[in-house]
Chains A and B, each alone.
Chain A
Amino acid sequence: MSPRLEEFLFAPANARSVAALRIGLAAVAAFAFYPYDTGALATLVQAPWLVHLYRDVIQTKTYWLLTMAALAAFAAGLWSRPAGLLAALLLAPYVPIQGVMISRYLLWFAVTALSLLCSDRRWALRSLIGFPQRNDVGPTWPIRLIQLQLSTLYLVNAIAKSSPGYLSGGALAAMSTRLPNFLVQCADGLFTLAGISIPLGIAAAATVAIEYCLAIGFWFPRLRWPTAVLGAVFHAGLTRLITIAALDIASVALYAAFLLPVRSPRARVASNVASR
């Protein structure tokens, strides 16, 4: 493994960033995984015994409260690794619910990856009750995975939309008249936002260009904040166009994995010394 890749994946993770991600993602997940008792299983997994399992066990208040308790323990830094892994295990069955699959998958993946790190030593109840605060939470690669997952989301969406049918605006026109969660009608070939009418082809092309920017921009340190602002504006605009469950919030919440320092200051100092 090259030294740069070694450092990219195995440098010590920043303990404060990991703690902030742990708390923030747990809060967003609690929001995105509610309500627990609505929605049908995805078509792929509609075996009768599974439908019964969901109705009688998983989509019940008891199961959901247990899941939230594990998530709360993870957020509070009470043995965050086992609590986080338990939360991920309990959250997993909620992922394949139609209508919310992608936002829940994103957050489930992030909670699972983050629970691999020992982040219960900073900004955690354990440290308040006397356990020492330590900086060695683990390597950076779980955070790199969260970053990679976010970029993959934008990239595959941009690629899927790079088709003549989408870029012409025809798909958006049809969706606006057919899909119940579209908030605007664009059958006349124009998309109107904040009083400005834009031809649908231009709106579609802009959407695709923005998704490519969001897939790539976060990987360039100088472009991180501009990319995050672009993403926040993009998702805020989308909420005026379409209701897509918690996907906007889940996506923007994961920007923190890029915006917070990933490596610990100790690693940055060591890296600078090594490069001299």
Chain B
Amino acid sequence: MAEHVTESTEAPAYATGGEYVQHHLGFLTYGKRPDGTWGIAHTEQEAADMGFWSIHLDTMGISLVLGLVFIGIFRSVAKKATSGVPGGLQNVIELLFDLVQSSLKTSFHGKTDYVAPLALTIFVWILFMNLMDLVPVDLIPLAAQAIAGDHHLYFKAVPTTDVNITIGMSLSVFILILYYSIKNKGVGGFLGELAFHPFGKAALPLNLVMEVPAFLAKPVSLALRLFGNLFAGEVIFLVIALLGYWQFPLHFAWAVFHLLVIPLQAYLFMMLTIVYLNQAHQHH
């Protein structure tokens, strides 16, 4: 679009708005090319052809950077944490600790040595990743393109709009659910819960049909809820970016609305993790 404000003389001119949006939804994918060499995919078809053994350098990289930012900030506060009057940043972090601890108090009954830092990490890390959504949609891709010297480079800045990232997180939680279920109930107890509930031993097939999909749905719903919300938000931002100067008030309005979604989704992911792990600790 000619009036597109982020467009510069060097940037590729998109033929249609759809192409602009489509390009912004592509990933910087590293994998094995059809000719046998390893490198970065230049088209989405090429990226798709790389199959499973390829990696999104953009979302993975930003996810790692944000994780390190989280650990870095919190570690620096933890090192000089005082039991006296807390300073500015410590106040904020203590607020988050209170949030996690009160969530655990109401929803988790058991030892919290591992679950508490787990919940904190999930909440803050996802919050940081979601907050990338508020960075103007073209800023990071344009910067990446300028650094790479390739104006057609795919670059996606919001990790939680990559379903791989959200599935990675929900699978991690799923692994923990399996681990704690088996640790607390034994293999027999865990399988028994799937097979003998809710209708007793007589209705074993029916129980399995009801319980196994419900169990497997946990990581899927966890991943897709987060991904869906953030992806939709991202697409709306991209569409708004096509509207010329009208995009400024609209971006602002959508960002304000999105400001609710960002912490809410991070909180939901954390809360559901706590609830699922609590179920893994409870005997029926």
Partners in one complex: no
Name B residues whose Cβ lies closer than 8 Å to a Cβ of A: none
Name A residues whose Cβ lies closer than 8 Å to a Cβ of B: none
